[in-house]
Structure 1
Amino acid sequence: MIKSILITGSNRGLGLGLVKQLLSIPNPPDKIIATCRNLENAKELREIANKHKNVHILLLDVTDFNSYDDFKRKLENILQDDGLNVLFNNAGTYPRVTKLELLNSSHLVNAFVTNTVAPIMLTKTLVPLLKTAAQKNSDKPIGSERAAIINMSSILASISENSSEGLYPYKCSKAALNMATKTLSIELKEDNIMAICLHPGWVKTDMGGPNARLDIEPSVKGIVDLILSVNSEHNGGFYQYDGKQLPW
């Protein structure tokens, strides 16, 4: 059982799907904190929160780094003294730039800010809450019941699996996120906080597009099953939604 989980970018797509899936499991988390940038664009998430007292919505633009301290205070008010068990850095951007000739520097900079810098800096801000959870749950094994960082990556970030041209902003920023995840797993190991990166599959979302092979439901079901089962052997790894380990 996970006591608390924070999911960024929860107003639609995989983030919203993860909230729904977590609510459907036999022992849902006591506190699901779902973030969005704009409440008006999060109608379905608001409806869910109105029906489920364990769902809390917090406003967060992950690229607004000056807002992180205030966000942390609001999060602490929800978590009280229990800390945060799972930080799921889900929010991301997918610049649809396919060719080198169409690429400009802003495509790359914006992608790195959202997909790489934001997850690292938000993790830095919230590590004290993860440490609290790890200490409070010292009787639990390494994993999501204790303290875990889950970073949403992509198979497109795999250097060894890359066989396609273009998509430089997305591929490069997610590959950098993979490196950050691996580094976090080493640095935070002594604090009993694990870190992994996940590939959700090619999913039919606004980002994945209508031609994607996978619906949201099987993807988020697999992701939640994996989150519930991760242990110290998963630490620092790169995994697919169905639990398969992926090459860097």
Structure 2
Amino acid sequence: MKSVLITGANRGLGLGMVKYLTKQNKAENIFATCRTPSDELKQLAQENKNLHILNLDLTNLNSFGDVVPKISQVMGDQGLNLLVNNAGISTKFTKLQLVKSEQLLENLTVNTVAPIMLTKALLPVLKQAADKHSDRPVGAERAAVINLSSILGSIEKNDQGGFYPYRCSKAALNAATKSMSLDLKKDSILVACIHPGWVKTDMGGKNAPLDVETSVQGMLDTILQLKEGDSGKFLQFDGTELPW
């Protein structure tokens, strides 16, 4: 894989993906986006010249187009093989009586609107990669968009209620993923959403059963094995298909 862009790469799963990709030499060029790079991400960039940190505030939707020339400056006419919409936010468990409109709108903006609009902005370089590598099968080695979702976005699996802002934003992201998979099929761009599992991160908390390394390795192994028939699917980090 020649190139991958990961949002929210300064910590948690995003940083874990960057670490894994650099250590395993899975990508020739890695674009790590975040609002403010962590010291750990900066250190990784110093040690790996193929790691490029790009400033990106997902609440500033009008700035997304600025990323395209920065990718092209590095990749030339190779385009972008893989976009991982990883960045996300979550409010704590929210009962109906306590939910606030501000929480709903904030979660929807970062978790749903931003991935859709960033994918739209990066379509030129994704299509460029799909055309440039037309000798390869549809998938991450050619061109793909992976949206990090959550089992909490599954309507069928919702047996607890609550979590209105996060559940609604991830269910909407799942719907967007399905539409993207249909809209981009003609361009040979694979689109799928992945649930990373319940992971020990700032969002997942210390009681989560999975560590970052296990989740990241499972997700990236799954992503790199996806084929054309997997486009539009909702998958767990280990490749198991999940119900909508």
TM-score interval, smaller chain = over 0.9
Q: Is the 8 A contact 2:200 2:207 kept in 1?
A: yes
Residues 164-175 of structure 1 correspond to what in structure 2 (within 5 A)? 164-175=160-171
TM-score, normalised to structure 1, is 0.96
Q: Structure 1 residue 225: deviation in Å?
A: 0.4
Partners of 1:88 and 1:70 lie apart in 2 by 17
Residue of structure 2 aligned with 1:55, choices 29, 47, 51: 51
Alpha-carbon separation, structure 2, partners of 1:79 and 1:169: 37
- The percent of aligned pairs where both chains have the same amino acid is 56
| 2:203 corresponds to 1:204 | no
Deviations 1:33-72, CA, capped at 9 Å, x for gaps: 0011013xx1100000100111110000111012112222
What is the CA-CA distance between 1:96 and the residue it aligns to? 1.3
Describe the superposition over 1:91-136 as per-residue Cα deviations: whole angstroms up to 9, x where unpaired: 1110114211111111101110000000000000001100000000
Partner SS state of residue 48, structure 1: helix
For the residues of structure 1 that align with 2:235 and 2:36, how far apart are their CA atoms?
A: 30
Number of corresponding residues: 244
Which secondary structure does the structure 2 equivalent of 1:56 belong to? strand
The residue that corresponds to 2:3 in the other structure is 4
Give, in whole Å, the separation in 2 of the partners of 1:190 and 1:233. 13
After the TM superposition, which residues 137-152 of structure 1 pair with which residues of structure 2 at under 5 Å, given as runs?
137-152=133-148
Query: By how many angstroms is 1:153 displaced?
Result: 0.0
Alignment equivalent of 1:103, drawn from 99, 111, 135? 99
- Aligned residue among 196, 205, 211 for 1:215: 211
Q: Which residues of 2 match residues 74-223 of structure 1 at below 5 A?
A: 74-223=70-219
**Deviates most, 3-12 or 64-73:** 64-73
Per-residue CA deviation, residues 3-61 of structure 1 (Å, 9 max, x unaligned), is 10000000000000001111222x4211000011013xx11000001001111100001
Contact kept? 1:181, 1:196, Cα under 8 Å: yes
Runs of 4+ in structure 1 over 3 Å off: none
CA contact (8 A) 2:71 2:79 kept: no
Alpha-carbon distance in structure 2 between the residues aligned to 1:150 and 1:183? 13
Contact kept, 8 Å, 1:97 with 1:103, in 2: the verdict is no
Tell me the C-alpha RMSD between the 2 structures: 0.9
1:30 aligned to 17, 28, 31, which one? 28
